[in-house]
């Protein structure tokens, strides 16, 4: 008799298989009908005010988040003695033409999220006192971002990943530096995308991946020759939800 997949089996199998091509997954819908972010909240002063004095709002729970909760992936990882706390920096670079988001392209040989576009960041080390420490340390290690050039202006709700991490997004205003020194093992490239593009719902796509366990919806935000999706897109969606209110 065929085994009925348990919630744990279902959740553990939503991780993208080797060779998974997210860009080939069909677009289910776009979010062009959703409310746009007011221009004032795309500027440094408005962003700081909103992050430091947020209104009542609801973070979006993605399918990835639901599967992690259903399978209790975080607790199982903790019981095995593995690190589950992580932090990323959402680096908003101060430019004359408006804020841009600094993103990294991960190398293809990494165990988790190989080849994907992500924010600089990673696991919390024992010496890290807070998510801020983790985000700044990892950003310096991965792309050579000088912590002195970063003004932390707030945090977003934790984002749960199928790889077993509870990630705190740390939002910072960044003074642009002339060049970035990449950790060649982890980072293949670094680039910028206008914040106004990433927070425009017209550029948010919902894709529906069908597997033996059912369907999984995820967000994507293609920009030029870059394909932003998964946890990175999920965190950007929450920043959008906070700022659109």
Name which residue leads in pLDDT, 36 or 80: 36
Q: What percent of the chain has pLDDT over 70?
A: 89
- Res. 136: pLDDT tops 70: yes
- Res. 123: pLDDT tops 60: yes
- Res. 8: pLDDT tops 50: no
Evaluate the CA torsion angle 170, 209, 193, 242 in order and state its sign. Answer: negative
Cα separation of 195 and 91, whole Å? Answer: 10
Q: What is the mean pLDDT of the chain?
A: 90
Average pLDDT score over residue span 46-69: 94
Name the band, by pLDDT with cuts 50, 70 and 90, for residue 161.
very high
Cα separation of 134 and 192, whole Å? Answer: 22
212 contacts 30 by C-beta, under 8 angstroms: no
Q: Using one digit for the tens of pLDDT, what is the confidence trace for 9-57?
A: 444 345 566 678 899 999 999 999 999 999 999 999 999 999 999 999 9
- Res. 212: pLDDT tops 80: no
| Residues constituting the chain | 245
Q: In this structure, are strands 159-160 and 214-223 parallel, antiparallel, or unpaired?
A: unpaired
Q: Using one digit for the tens of pLDDT, what is the confidence trace for 89-118?
A: 999 999 999 999 999 998 865 555 556 899
Tokens 């991946």 belong to: 209
Cα separation of 184 and 106, whole Å? Answer: 9
E strands within 13-99? 27-30, 85-94
- The single-letter DSSP state of residue 3 is P
Name the band, by pLDDT with cuts 50, 70 and 90, for residue 7.
very low
pLDDT value at position 6? 40
Q: Using one digit for the tens of pLDDT, what is the confidence trace for 177-203?
A: 989 999 988 899 999 999 999 999 999
- Res. 145: pLDDT tops 50: yes
- Res. 144: pLDDT tops 90: yes
| 155: helix, strand or coil | strand
């Amino acid at each position: 008799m065929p085994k009925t997949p348990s919630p744990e089996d279902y959740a553990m199998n939503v991780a993208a298989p080797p060779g998974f091509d997210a860009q080939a997954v069909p677009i289910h819908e776009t979010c062009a009908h959703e409310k746009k972010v007011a221009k004032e909240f795309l500027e440094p002063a408005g962003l700081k005010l909103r992050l430091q004095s947020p209104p009542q709002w609801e973070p979006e729970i993605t399918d990835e988040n639901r599967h992690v909760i259903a399978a209790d992936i975080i607790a199982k990882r903790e019981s095995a003695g593995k690190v589950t706390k992580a932090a990323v920096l959402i680096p908003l670079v101060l430019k004359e033409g408006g804020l841009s988001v600094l993103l990294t392209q991960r190398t293809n040989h990494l165990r988790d999220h190989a080849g994907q576009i992500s924010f600089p960041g990673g696991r919390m080390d024992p010496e890290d006192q807070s998510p801020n420490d983790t985000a700044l340390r990892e950003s310096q290690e991965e792309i050579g971002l000088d912590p002195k050039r970063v003004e932390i202006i707030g945090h977003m709700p934790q984002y749960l990943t199928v790889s077993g991490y509870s990630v705190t997004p740390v939002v910072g205003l960044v003074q642009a530096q002339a060049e970035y020194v990449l950790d060649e093992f982890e980072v293949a490239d670094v680039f910028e995308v206008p914040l106004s593009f990433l927070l425009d719902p017209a550029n948010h796509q919902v894709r529906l991946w069908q597997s033996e366990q059912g369907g999984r919806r995820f967000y994507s935000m293609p920009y030029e020759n870059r394909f932003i999706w998964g946890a990175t897109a999920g965190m950007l969606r929450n920043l959008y939800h906070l700022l659109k209110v």
